[in-house]
Chains A and B, each alone.
Chain A
Amino acid sequence: GENVEQHPSTLSVQEGDSAVIKCTYSDSASNYFPWYKQELGKGPQLIIDIRSNVGEKKDQRIAVTLNKTAKHFSLHITETQPEDSAVYFCAASGFGNEKLTFGTGTRLTIIP
């Protein structure tokens, strides 16, 4: 089955700087890669996703890049703000494999 690795497990960034979180996946059939933000006491919230026919997607301060050859994808947050502090999870799924497999999570702390 699919295996998703995520790095780093913790990340501290000065407010205003950029943050990058990286994930690798094992199943070359995976074709959908979402990123979730989980704040304390809440369920995961989808912040951005990318499909395998696209190499990059951007939504304001958040971007995701995908390298299918290397089987890795990354989350980029620019101009970080204190409200970006949370745990971020990457995930992967594909046709014929409807379930999401999650990475281990990254605790992002924005230092004011």
Chain B
Amino acid sequence: SAVISQKPSRDICQRGTSLTIQCQVDSQVTMMFWYRQQPGQSLTLIATANQGSEATYESGFVIDKFPISRPNLTFSTLTVSNMSPEDSSIYLCSSRTGNYGYTFGSGTRLTVV
């Protein structure tokens, strides 16, 4: 399965600022996914990112708040914009290899103060 590197691993940010999270996969993958995991909660899909096309956002998530880039088949970024304390969460990148098999990065732990 693919190995995913995600950075930063954690950050503390001021409200109103933006943070860009990077996700690097060690092999070419068609689909990459961004999830949010609020403290003590399950994983909620933010958006699906395919190379060469705009990301597809889930209900409740909008591009202005969570812009995503997917410049090639091994890399993606998620930006959390105009942050508020409610954005404090773990953000996870995931990719799918083959027909199945979703692999996750170790996550970015974001605290907004």
Interface residues of A in 63-97 (CB under 8 A from B): 89
Say yes or no: is B69 at the interface (Cβ < 8 Å to chain A): no
CB–CB A89/B45 < 8 A: no
Question: CB distance A89 to B43 under 8 Å?
Answer: yes
On chain A, which size bracket covers the interface? 20 to 34
A98 to B33, CA, bound (A): 10
Provide the bound-state CA to CA distance between A52 and B102, in Å.
17
List chain B residues, Cβ under 8 A from A100.
33, 43, 45, 94, 102
Give the contact stretch, choosing among B11-19, B72-80, B81-89, B104-112. Answer: B104-112
Judge whether A98 and B100 touch: CB under 8 Å. no
Q: What is the CB-to-nearest-CB distance from A34 to chain B, in angstroms, rounded to a whole number?
A: 7
Q: Is the CB of B104 within 8 A of A45?
A: yes
B107 touches A105 (CB 8 A): no
Residue picked from A41, A89, A99, A103, most chain B C-beta under 10 Å = A99
Secondary structure at the A interface, as helix, strand, loop or mixed, is: strand
With beta carbons under 8 angstroms apart, the residue of A42, A44, A51, A98 that contacts B96 is A98
Q: In this complex, what residue of B is CB-closest to A95?
A: B99
Of the listed residues A32, A43, A44, A51, the one surrounded by the most CB atoms of chain B closer than 10 A to its CB is A43
| A43:B102 contact, CB within 8 angstroms | no
Residues of the A chain whose Cβ atoms lie less than 8 Å from the Cβ of B4:
43
B1 & A44 in contact (Cβ 8 Å cutoff): no
> What's the Cα separation between A34 and B100 when bound, in Å?
9
A residues 7-47 near B (Cβ < 8 Å) are: 32, 34, 36, 41-46
Residue B48 interfacial (CB < 8 Å): yes
> A44–B4 Cα gap in the complex (Å)?
12
* In the bound complex, CA of A41 to CA of B102 (Å): 19
Inter-chain contact B102/A34, CB cutoff 8 Å:
yes
User: When the two chains form the complex, which single residue of A42, A46, A49, A105 contacts B42, counting CB atoms closer than 8 Å?
Assistant: A105
Q: List 7 interface pairs A-B (beta carbons < 8 Å), by A numbering.
A: A34-B102, A43-B104, A46-B1, A49-B100, A99-B48, A100-B45, A104-B42
A residues near B (Cβ < 8 Å) are 32, 34, 36, 41-46, 49, 51, 89, 98-105
